[in-house]
Amino acid sequence: MNRKGLVGLFKANLPQFVWMSFPVYIGSFIFALEAEDKDPEWLPITLFLITVTILVSIAEFANTYADRDEDWLYVPSNPIVTGELDAVTAMKAFIVQNILGGAFLIALLAVTRNYWLTLALAIGWAVGYTYSMPPFRFKERVVGPLFFALGISLKPIVGWLVIGPLNDFMIGFAVFLFVWLMAFQISGDKLRKTSLALNHGIIQSEGDSGVQSIGTVGLKLTVKTAIFLESFIGLGAFILVPIFWHLDIFNMTLSIALLTLPLVFMILTVITRIREPLRNADKCGQLIGMVYSFIVLSFCGVALASVIHWALAALICVVFLIVFRLLFRVVHPFGEASRIL
């Protein structure tokens, strides 16, 4: 394979999203080690990180491959659309990735003998595959937000399970993340696609009813309903934070961290979305993306600050964000209009 094909493969795995999984795993490791009062075992941790990197890449690659026929509009930088990677080579690479994922999952089970961890990873693998790939393609069904939220909220759980059994804290954070991710998926990407489809004449508003009544692409909710659910569920997720704080499930530091920048960007998303739901689709996509980034970095940063100086923990989080933005700019999966740098 030539250099162009290798670059295409790199982009097809959407490495920026794979990269932003690592703060979740790091945070889970540290919180779990503190809860279990034990030292890290580097062999299972290293093997786990290799395994999840492959499995998350599989989920992203599946999305790139399955959407190749529609991404001339929705994600024109898809490497299969641009010609950097041909569909036949992509399928072969996808098969190899799945074989590697299975091999490393078996190796992880052999090393850890942790059946709950293996089961959770296998569920995440299945969710990532069925979410995008036919004949399942749950991303286009009413259960799409549930599958999306489940796939990502499993990340802190599997990270914790490498160290020890789950506790109330980890379950609470996974629940918070799951609820918020449903809001993210209900309108985050769907309204961006709806805006593009409307601008290109693929869908049209009915008479004088306006954009509020247009059905969202891929979810079949009206724009008005999607905005309501995003606002209600997204803000509702943050109501869980003080509740978990009151119940001593979340500590004060994490609770405050989650109720600052993540909540501020969530409120900005809701306000911007209500003002111009489709015209502001790109801007809202950037804002809600920042909500997720700051949720993840808050989780990681608070964990790091318990073992190193808080300034160094903050610096590490800044590095994660900078690398993510640089990878996003290189891979650029959402077309020129959505460039965030």
DSSP label at 334? T
| 202 DSSP assignment | S
Tokens 């003080």, located at residue: 242
Q: What is the mean pLDDT of the chain?
A: 93
Write down the pTM of the prediction: 0.94
Residue 336, pLDDT above cutoff 90: no
DSSP string, 50-79: HHHHHHHHHHHHHHHHHTTTTTTTS-TT-H
3-class DSSP assignment, residue 222 = strand
- Whether the CB-CB separation of 45 and 111 falls below 8 Å is answered with no
pLDDT confidence of residue 147: 95
Give DSSP secondary structure letters for 82-141: HTSS-HHHHHHHHHHHHHHHHHHHHHHHHHH--HHHHHHHHHHHHHHHHHHSTTT-GGGS
Distance CA 341, CA 333 (A): 13
CB 101 within 8 A of CB 51: yes
Of the candidates 245, 264, 262, 340, which has an alpha carbon nearest to the alpha carbon of residue 300?
A: 262
Q: Provide the β-strand partners of residue 222.
A: 215
- How far apart, in whole angstroms, are the C-alpha atoms of residue 219 and residue 143? 9
Examine the pLDDT at 207 and tell me if it is beyond 60. Answer: no
Task: Provide the pLDDT for residue 315.
Answer: 98
- Over residues 197-209, the mean pLDDT reads 76
Q: 215 forms bridges with which residues in the sheet?
A: 222
In the numeric block, the tokens 């869908």 are attached to 203
Q: Is the pLDDT of residue 2 over 50?
A: yes
Token pair, residue 230, equals 């995003």
Question: What gap in Å lies between CA 16 and CA 26, rounded to an integer?
Answer: 17
What pLDDT is stored for residue 142 in this prediction?
87
Q: Is residue 69 exposed (0-12), middle (13-18) or buried (19+ Cβ within 10 Å)? A: exposed
For the segment 243-289, what is each residue's pLDDT rounded down to a tens digit? 999 999 999 999 999 999 999 999 999 999 998 888 899 899 999 99
Place of tokens 């898809």: 78
- Which tokens in the block code for residue 5? 């094909």
At residue 188, does pLDDT exceed 90? no
Using alpha carbons only, how large is the chain's radius of gyration in Å?
20
**How many residues are there in the chain?**
341
Cis omega (within 30 of 0) on the bond before 135? yes
**H-helix or E-strand spanning residue 167:** none
Query: What average pLDDT does the segment 76-82 reach?
Result: 93
Written as one letter, the residue type at 254 is L
The confidence band for 213, taking pLDDT boundaries of 50, 70 and 90, is confident
* Cα–Cα distance for residue pair 248/146, rounded to 1 Å: 27
